[in-house]
Structure 1
Amino acid sequence: MTDRFGRYRFGLDHFALLVRDVEASLAFYRDVMGFAPIQRSGSANVAWLAIGGGDAIHLIQGDFGETQVTKDVHVAVSTADFDVFVADITARGIVFTDWPGNPGVIGVHRNGFRQIYVQDPDEYWIEINDHRPPACG
């Protein structure tokens, strides 16, 4: 089955991040981002969390080695509760920036949606926005 966006109809299943300390990353994604842990058996150095809509993040502890993290390589999530999220992280003392890196500034994308960027314990950048793309199909 295909759709107007490409040859096949895909949806995000999960993405995986290499992390230095799976417990620290788990705490961030659970407590700050609000993602729900997924019960699983297997390696103690791996954690899965549900993002919503059937999507998930897999955190895999390993040798970070020469890994370089820049804002150009980031994960973006959208929320209808954008203002509540910004108020929550502000109250927690978590620094956010706009795309250029101005602390505490909410950016506005050229397409009109608002966005901020935060960093997780491994300094991966996460974009949080209130973008609502049209339904596919």
Structure 2
Amino acid sequence: MDGREFRNAMGRFATGVTIITAPEQEGGVHGMTANAFVSISLDPKLVMISIDNRANMLETIRKADKFGVSFLREEQQPISMHFANQKPMEEEIEFAYMDNIPYIPNSLASVVCDVHEMIVAGDHTLFIGKVLDTKVEDGDPLLFYQGQYRAIEEQQ
């Protein structure tokens, strides 16, 4: 199987859309769009993100030893597109903070973490984060399926 076939198969798994953030370093807050997020454990509270080994965010998280994850609501698609380098936003993005770690305000949920463990796995690095704090709000999720943004449609 070639890489495109594998990518197409993985695109059949519907995911939420997240923004990964890291505390301010040179140049301010860093963020990236990602859908590779997993809740791992309730005790201790652990989550995992997967970062491409070529991404600038990899070294940023390594240096900070902390990261945030914000689960986007459907109206936040422009924020996802901005951090995916698809379409820059005209207005500056505001961040909120928990434990001095930035997150996207008004997202469905946000978690902030200390890096608990890093595992190099192929062309990505997995960061397992120990959750320090969370924030939860109401709304409908922004979804990603077959390379496109989607929204939940109400069944009638």
Q: TM-score, normalised by structure 1?
A: 0.25
Larger strand proportion of the pair: 2
Does 1 or 2 have the higher relative contact order (CA < 8 Å, sep 6+)?
A: 2
TM-score, normalisation: structure 2 = 0.23
